[in-house]
Amino acid sequence: MVVLDATVVNIALPAAQADLQFSNGDRQWIITAYSLAFGSLLLLGGRLSDLIGRKRAFIIGLIGFALASALGGMAGSFGMLVFARALQGAFGALLAPTALAVLTTTFTDPKERGRAFGVFGAIAGAGGAIGLLLGGILTEDLSWRWNLYINDVIAVVAIVGAIFFVHTVARTGPRPKLDVPGTLLVSGALFALVYGFSHAETDGWGAPLTWGMLAASGVLLVAFVLWQRRASHPLLPLRIVLDRNRAAAYSSILIAGAGMFGIFLFVTYYLETTLGYSPIQTGLSFLPMIIMLVLSAQLSTNIFLPRFGPKVMVPIGMLLAMSGMVLLTQLDAASRYAVSVLPPLMLLGLGMGSIMPPSIQTATLGVDREFAGVASAMVNTSQQVGGSIGTALLNTLAATAATDFVTAHAPATPQVLADAAIHSYATAYAWGAGAFALGAVVAAVTFRRKGRPSTNRTGVDGAVEAAGEPVLAH
């Protein structure tokens, strides 16, 4: 539901704009309001789930997200829709890390844990593509408002499931306290970071507000780290992110998130504007990628990860995704879906299924139960920040490439403009391939070899984590 909402509304935007009569300049706020609230409050949401209990936080998050979605669906004005989207993001920031923390603390049996994380990782990777498919169907067959109402249907099922199947774990020690200064510092830093990249996407990197927000984010992040070193009840104990395997996992998720947004964004543009696909056809075009991602996630988590560890699986996934991106650079106006689009999408699905589940499982393995929520929030934060960076950078690079192409091939005839668009997409794919190549190197160098013990005691019940063995460690 949370990952879905990052893309499901995109396809509904033109219909919503026509209905509510807001400008093209205002349109970005429907997306930005969600990402700002979600990205800036994730660590707070994860910590709240540690403090008030997973089950309670999970149900509160579901109810809040459902009510916000209903409000957005009923919106009669632009302002109400933006407010509802921000509210969705705020409750999503509580819901997303809590869901992963529930998974982390519920499934301790290695075999069950592998299956659970395979499913979770597949959904995390495929959610954006499912959002495009569902958004197209709902917008064409029902109304743009159903892109928001659909969350209420999902939430009812999830709430009933949570009541019966999510168990409350009794607290054994004293109730921990919330690190208020740390929360304010990191929330401000993440807000400034996401806003800075969102502003760069629309107003360019030279805008004073872009650099001002990014600089403010850097200052606040440094202040947050310094405070965490001395805080008696830190929001995010630094040992969690400084563990070598977890740092590698968070980095892999961030890089994969940046690359994935490029896939959805520019392949969607290509299919709809160059090949003339409808929203439903575009969504269906991503279906083979989703199938390969789900298949790859199950195989990598249950068979290959226990045998080879993340040091092998994640770089392989990055290289598969890179290969898919390289193939996408060859697309032109005469390309056919079955020959030129389907193979790279299937490669990308295989790659993401080998990156996301192992990285998510490694990022949350062996963390003290007390900090499972905030460690899970770092997964979502990495993905959200990666998406923001990827969208801003790739959009800027693509726009520059299109401008340069038109300048070099003046006058700007319709054919030149069409060729410029394809050239801009190819530029974005090439940079996306570079991001995945970087991810392969980072993962290969940073992840520990399978079986090497960690010296960092952050394991459940104080056990030393057997780094590099994310399924067999317990």
Mean pLDDT (whole number) for 197-212: 82
Lowest average pLDDT, out of 40-44, 56-60, 186-190, goes to 40-44
Q: Say what the pLDDT of residue 367 is.
A: 76
Q: Say what the pLDDT of residue 413 is.
A: 87
> Would you say residue 320 has pLDDT above 90?
yes
Q: Are 278 and 140 in contact (CB under 8 A)?
A: yes
Mean pLDDT (whole number) for 345-365: 88
pLDDT in tens, 220-239: 999 999 998 888 888 888 88
At 266, the pLDDT band (50, 70, 90 cuts) reads confident
At 287, the pLDDT band (50, 70, 90 cuts) reads confident
Q: Are 262 and 101 in contact (CB under 8 A)?
A: no
Q: Say what the pLDDT of residue 24 is.
A: 62
Lowest average pLDDT, out of 111-115, 132-136, 168-172, 372-376, goes to 168-172
Q: Are 261 and 390 in contact (CB under 8 A)?
A: yes
As a whole-number percent, the residues of the chain with pLDDT over 90 amount to 27
> Would you say residue 467 has pLDDT above 70?
no
At 212, the pLDDT band (50, 70, 90 cuts) reads very high
> Would you say residue 120 has pLDDT above 50?
yes
Give me the chain's average pLDDT, please: 83
Rounded Cα distance between 438 and 175, Å, is: 42
pTM over 0.85: no
Residue 418, number of CB atoms within 10 A of its CB = 13
Helix, strand, coil distribution of the chain in percent, nearest 5:
80, 0, 20
Superfamily of domain 4-167+235-462 in CATH is MFS general substrate transporter like domains (1.20.1250.20)
Chain centroid, CA 81 distance in Å: 22
At 125, the pLDDT band (50, 70, 90 cuts) reads low
Joined tokens for residue 326 = 């390289």
At 343, the pLDDT band (50, 70, 90 cuts) reads very high
Output 441 or 281, whichever has higher pLDDT.
441
Please list, in sequence order, all residues whose beta carbon lies within 8 angstroms of the beta carbon of residue 377, skipping any fewer than 6 positions away. 42, 43, 45, 46, 47, 93, 96, 97
Mean pLDDT (whole number) for 321-341: 92
Q: How far apart are the first and last CA of the chain?
A: 30
> Would you say residue 457 has pLDDT above 50?
no
The winner for highest mean pLDDT among 124-138, 213-227, 264-278, 459-473 is 213-227
The winner for highest mean pLDDT among 13-27, 72-86, 134-148, 280-294 is 72-86
Lowest average pLDDT, out of 122-126, 208-212, 305-309, 353-357, goes to 122-126
The winner for highest mean pLDDT among 41-50, 249-258, 282-291 is 249-258
Rounded Cα distance between 51 and 288, Å, is: 41
Q: What single-letter DSSP state applies at residue 6?
A: G
Lowest average pLDDT, out of 79-93, 217-231, 251-265, 425-439, goes to 251-265
